[in-house]
A and B are shown apart, each in its own frame.
Chain A
Amino acid sequence: MGAGHHHQLYLPGDSVVHRLPPQCKLLAVLAFAIVVVATPRERFWAFAAYAALLAAVAVAARVPAGHIVRRMAIEIPFVLFAFLIPVIGLGERTTVLGLSLSVPGLWAAWNILAKATLGVVASILLAATTEPRVILVGAQRLRLPSLLVQIAMFMLRYMDVIVDEMRRMRVARESRGFVARDVRHIPVLARSAGALFIRSYERGERVHLAMLSRGYTGEMPITHDISASVRQWGTALALPAVALAIWGLPW
């Protein structure tokens, strides 16, 4: 959470990866994540191969490494937690650099770090090569309930508007010398949150009126649909397929 959310997610481009239909990419990333999670953690080479696969996708999509690394900051809390596991873990212990560490703990830390990182990078690549609204079109193609997709669409549309409103409220507070420092300041934050809720709710009502006045009856008109060819499915699903092949190799 926090600052990481305000980097630009989508990097416009015209690569093979950018051009793939969103439903193919969504399914490919999900399948890839499942293969990664199901891979036994002893198979170091498998994880290296997965990383190489993602690197290949990044190169094909021309997503700069810097972008990926910056956005990986989202992972930091769990990385810290992963480093803690060997220290507090159970089981047989070993000494590394004078620290007594749990062997199963080290395995677990490695397991979480490797899988979480691969999952995060795959998601980052998806978001970097697919516009948010297009991802939603893909989700709808994958038979996600259309109401859920609509809600997510409205959330994405108004997220920045509301976060901006919240920021303006904070500026207003701070310009009058108020900085939330300790518990006594919580009431002020809560009043802002209350005001923010009222504004959001009332905006929701106005948006609904605006929709009604342009003929909304509860269903979103589908104005552009993206269908995928067998070849495109093949290209996208190559990622999890190769990963699965690596998983199935006799090591």
Chain B
Amino acid sequence: MGPTVVNSLEVRQLAYAYPDGTQALFGVDLSIARGERVALLGPNGAGKTTLVMHLNGILTAGHGTVTVAGTPVAKDTLKEIRQRVGLVFQDPDDQLFMPTVRDDVAFGPANAGVRGAELDRVVEDALDQVGMLEFADRPPHHLSFGQRRRVAVATVLAMRPEILVLDEPSSNLDPAARRELAEILRSLDVTVLMVTHDLPYALELCERALILSGGVIAADGPTRELLADTGLLARHRLELPYGFAIPAG
């Protein structure tokens, strides 16, 4: 890519240790171009969640930099960064904390100062994108798990993010809900970073994959090639499901 194109996400030499001294990241380097859909693969404890927490400044880098669309993550840019990086957490119940779906989707834009008719429009757009508009006035507790995850995606879309970061988007979904979410994600015109160990889902949605292992990026390439390399997968405690063969083409 040319030097004029600004990447959605740039992470350089990111290292981090928790206050108790446990070091989780040992110099992560990655960049994601605008419009890409990238899977971040890795075994449990590889530092995936820690990395994600850095992307919108919930954790502050011990060393190195995170840059979102040209803006470095720093104390004085936090407000802007949090609007540009949309985090979708693993448990939608953590993300849907407001009394109704509508209030929840409105929370982010309202914090950014959007009000009135403009706010309604933003909220309805976001819910429409995930096919949940008719549930706007329901309390989140009354929705199915798959519906809640879709609303969680909408809460983030309503902020018009530069990049959507999803933590284990396919976990706990039944096959139909899993497919519906995949269709929604494919329809969105936004950069996506998907953290998962659901390898078939990564293959289905993402052209490119990264393997995070031991706190560093251990591999970066087309998802199909990485998943075909059984030795690489085995070294990083990743496995394709039984009977799964990478489809030809």
Contact = CB atoms under 8 A, between A and B. Distances in A.
Direct contact of A and B (CB under 8 A): yes
A212 B79 CA distance: 9
Contact of B97 (A131, A211, A215, A224): A211
Contacts of A217: 111
Nearest to A205: B94
B106 A223 contact: yes
B149 interface: no
Contact of B58 (A131, A158, A160, A213): A213
Contacts of B85: 213
B141 interface: yes
A154 B125 CA distance: 26
Interface string B78-94: 01001101110101011
Interface of B: 53, 56, 58, 79, 82-83, 85-87, 89, 91, 93-95, 97-100, 103, 106-108, 110-112, 115, 119, 139-141, 155-156, 159
A159 to B, nearest CB: 9
A211 B87 CA distance: 11
Nearest to B55: A213
18 contacts: A132-B99, A153-B98, A160-B141, A203-B93, A209-B58, A210-B97, A211-B97, A212-B58, A212-B82, A213-B58, A213-B85, A214-B111, A215-B79, A215-B83, A215-B159, A216-B111, A221-B110, A221-B111
A161 interface: yes
A133 interface: yes
A136 B106 CA distance: 17
Interface in A23-45: none
Most chain A CB within 10 A, of B53, B93, B115, is at: B93
Given A157-B99, A223-B106, 19 more contacts: A132-B99, A153-B99, A157-B139, A161-B93, A203-B93, A206-B89, A207-B94, A209-B53, A209-B94, A212-B82, A214-B82, A215-B79, A216-B107, A221-B106, A221-B107, A221-B111, A223-B103, A223-B119, A224-B103
Interface of A: 131-133, 136, 153-154, 156-158, 160-161, 203, 206-207, 209-217, 221, 223-224
Nearest to B111: A215
Given A161-B141, A215-B79, A210 B89 contact: yes
B99 A210 contact: no
A217 B112 CA distance: 11
B94 A206 contact: yes
A136 B155 CA distance: 22
Nearest to A154: B97
Nearest to B156: A214
A223 B99 CA distance: 12
Contacts of B79: 215
